[in-house]
Chains A and B, each alone.
Chain A
């Protein structure tokens, strides 16, 4: 009952003219970014953050705008998967398997509308999951002291590479690189400058927004320059959609698939280090095992389109749970959303639900609203977005680069930040070539300071005794999960990774 009351308050917050307009804008931009190959949810959100700030939006409106983009991108990714056999973003990879064959059979419109419905079901169930699960997790999180938080952060880093990374040493390297960057600046506890080498610009620390936009958006521009596949899409593809409503029979047939995949996707999203790509992957694999009796998966089976789409949208919602309730994001895009919260001076975690209930519930209500908007946008109006696919990357990518520059310059007004951003862009390109995941770097720069403060607080409280870090059963439990979570993929990933990466391009694509 409490929950419903809060939710009603949330709708009260979300249903203002400004917020509805932002949700509409966000869902539209998000779908477009998802649809365009090369722009995924994480770089889409990253480019828009600086804008949300310079526009002077408050906490709730900025979050509404950016999570609408997030949900929208999850919807949009499927469009180019189905029509062009090029995943618009990484989670939409699995949709290619059955979506493109369906389109080749002349069922493009059916595939698009069915996957739109599947996306809606996935996101809808996941938003309810968020409502039910997040408050429980918050109650649990109230038991955490500084030592437990330190262990929780360690757990996040240990599991982030997880099953989707190719090499645990490289994810560890990335996490340490991120944490190392976060140390730069004046020490918050003693006031001494650390690793600034006398550069005054660094005393405030590196702005993580600069790092995020550089690593995610600019590195993508460099990848395009490298291959010059500037005309990879658009030209030469004749896109015809046909009817844009699925036959009832098809919807009925795929309903159990959608429900199962949504639940599975949600769980995958909540787990640390999994994210939407894994959500769509395991949903597809499970459906294939469960219902593929005639071996039709991979040849244009509607269930093979519904499963990954429901899965990835549900995982997107699920990934918001640990981000909001614990302050520990489980995927790339939620890490970027965490950056938004931190820059707005809002610390996610249990206190967020107590101190800023309007932000949390407003956001959740906005997710419901955005989801309905997306359904409307993605079924009757899907034609608009198929036309967007005609913009060739050779024109799009320079716009992405310029908008990134504008956003960062708008925040700080200094050329120094732009130079740092270019540096991060080059670094991002190099690291992606070497298959080093970028998300742990972002998470490290975001969480580094909080992690260190918790460590120092814990040890200071116990008068310099480091054993306090493993001094409670809860902390020991978290450390155990962290260690197992780091070691297990060493054995497991060879199996999962090989199948998941079958259809992936050679650069480590940015995780969702």
Chain B
């Protein structure tokens, strides 16, 4: 069943890709092939491959339970928040929070997670910023 859904999504993607390609504004100065040919070929093969997947599906993979799925979703949300807040609060604080969260969710005790998170953040800061001189996001406090 998963593969049938996947194939159908792929087919929609191919159609959308083809449609989007046709929307490309061609300039009056163009080479013999033009900017549309290559993406159109891609769309066609993408569609054919999706069709094959749809018609001849593999056995279903083992999907995680709803709880695990929520776990992954939560991690994605945390990462997005991390990306958004990184320039605002600075590297050290954002990273300590994000890595503590991930460590906790992977099965470490809460207190230990906080310690590991802070240590990870400081460790990366020391190695990459102080030793290697990389520019990391600096927040209002300069770190």
- Residues of chain A having any CB pair with chain B under 8 Å: 51, 54-55, 166-167, 169-170, 172-173, 176-177, 179-180, 183, 187, 189-195, 197, 218, 221-222, 224-228, 230-231, 393-395, 397-399, 401-403, 405-406, 409-410, 413, 415, 418-419, 422, 425-426, 429, 433-435, 452, 455-456, 459-460, 463-464, 506-507
Given A173-B46, A409-B136, A455-B38: A399 and B72 interface contact (C-beta under 8 Å) = no
Q: How far is the CB of B103 from chain A (nearest CB, A)?
A: 5
Which chain B residues numbered 97 to 114 have a C-beta less than 8 Å away from chain A? 98-99, 102-103, 105-108
A189 touches B58 (CB 8 A): no
A189 touches B31 (CB 8 A): yes
Given A195-B20, A395-B103, A398-B117: A173 and B35 interface contact (C-beta under 8 Å) = no
In the complex, what residues of B have CB within 8 A of residue A507's CB? 61
A415 touches B34 (CB 8 A): no
**Chain A residue at minimum C-beta to C-beta distance from B117:** A398
In the complex, what residues of B have CB within 8 A of residue A166's CB? 58
In the complex, what residues of B have CB within 8 A of residue A218's CB? 79
**Which 5 residue pairs are nearest across A and B when measured between Cβ atoms?**
A394-B106, A230-B106, A418-B83, A464-B32, A398-B102
Selected A-B contacts with CB under 8 Å, 7 pairs? A54-B132, A172-B48, A192-B26, A221-B102, A225-B72, A394-B108, A418-B79
In the complex, what residues of B have CB within 8 A of residue A179's CB? 42
Given A55-B134, A402-B99: A395 and B116 interface contact (C-beta under 8 Å) = yes
**Chain A residue at minimum C-beta to C-beta distance from B125:** A406
**Complex: how many Å from CA A434 to CA B2?**
8
In the complex, what residues of B have CB within 8 A of residue A197's CB? 20
B20 touches A170 (CB 8 A): no
How many inter-chain contacts with C-beta < 8 Å in the A-B complex? 197
Most central of B39, B99, B133 by chain A CB within 10 Å: B39
**Complex: how many Å from CA A194 to CA B24?**
6
A459 touches B83 (CB 8 A): no
Given A55-B134, A194-B39, A435-B61: A177 and B106 interface contact (C-beta under 8 Å) = no
Q: How far is the CB of A487 from chain B (nearest CB, A)?
A: 13
In the complex, what residues of B have CB within 8 A of residue A172's CB? 45, 48-49
A402 touches B42 (CB 8 A): no
- Residues of chain B having any CB pair with chain A under 8 Å: 2-3, 6, 10, 17, 20-21, 24-27, 29-35, 37-39, 42-43, 45-46, 48-50, 52-53, 56, 58, 61-64, 68, 71-72, 75-76, 79-80, 82-84, 86-87, 91, 95, 98-99, 102-103, 105-108, 116-117, 120-121, 124, 128, 132-137
A192 touches B71 (CB 8 A): no
**Complex: how many Å from CA A139 to CA B83?**
48
Given contacts A398-B117, A415-B86, 11 further A-B contacts (CB under 8 A): A55-B133, A173-B10, A176-B46, A226-B68, A402-B98, A406-B91, A409-B136, A410-B136, A425-B76, A434-B2, A455-B38
A409 touches B86 (CB 8 A): yes
Which residue of the partner chain, among A190, A195, A410, contacts B135 with CB atoms under 8 Å? A410
In the complex, what residues of B have CB within 8 A of residue A192's CB? 24-27, 35
B29 touches A190 (CB 8 A): yes
A419 touches B83 (CB 8 A): yes
**Complex: how many Å from CA A183 to CA B21?**
10
B31 touches A54 (CB 8 A): no
**Chain B residue at minimum C-beta to C-beta distance from A401:** B102
B46 touches A194 (CB 8 A): no
**Chain B residue at minimum C-beta to C-beta distance from A419:** B83
**Chain B residue at minimum C-beta to C-beta distance from A224:** B106
B68 touches A228 (CB 8 A): yes
Is chain B's interface secondary structure helix, strand, loop, or mixed overall? Answer: helix
**Complex: how many Å from CA A398 to CA B97?**
11
**Complex: how many Å from CA A176 to CA B102?**
33
A395 touches B68 (CB 8 A): no
A433 touches B83 (CB 8 A): no
**Chain B residue at minimum C-beta to C-beta distance from A415:** B83
In the complex, what residues of B have CB within 8 A of residue A405's CB? 79, 82-83, 86, 95, 98
Q: How far is the CB of B41 from chain A (nearest CB, A)?
A: 9
Q: How far is the CB of B23 from chain A (nearest CB, A)?
A: 9
In the complex, what residues of B have CB within 8 A of residue A189's CB? 30-31, 35
In the complex, what residues of A have CB within 8 A of residue B25's CB? 192
**Chain A residue at minimum C-beta to C-beta distance from B69:** A226
Which residue of the partner chain, among B33, B76, B91, B106, contacts A459 with CB atoms under 8 Å? B33
In the complex, what residues of A have CB within 8 A of residue B86's CB? 405, 409, 415, 418
B71 touches A180 (CB 8 A): no
**Complex: how many Å from CA A302 to CA B126?**
44
Given A183-B42, A189-B35, A192-B26: A225 and B105 interface contact (C-beta under 8 Å) = yes
A393 touches B76 (CB 8 A): no
A54 touches B134 (CB 8 A): yes
A195 touches B21 (CB 8 A): yes
B76 touches A187 (CB 8 A): no
**Complex: how many Å from CA A460 to CA B17?**
25
In the complex, what residues of A have CB within 8 A of residue B137's CB? 409, 413
In the complex, what residues of B have CB within 8 A of residue A170's CB? 49, 53
B58 touches A225 (CB 8 A): no
Which residue of the partner chain, among A227, A398, A452, contacts B120 with CB atoms under 8 Å? A398
**Chain A residue at minimum C-beta to C-beta distance from B87:** A415
A51 touches B71 (CB 8 A): no
**Complex: how many Å from CA A191 to CA B124?**
41
In the complex, what residues of A have CB within 8 A of residue B87's CB? 415
**Complex: how many Å from CA A429 to CA B135?**
30
**Complex: how many Å from CA A230 to CA B108?**
8
Given A192-B24, A225-B106, A455-B33: A433 and B61 interface contact (C-beta under 8 Å) = yes
A506 touches B58 (CB 8 A): no
Given A172-B49, A406-B128, A435-B61: A393 and B39 interface contact (C-beta under 8 Å) = no
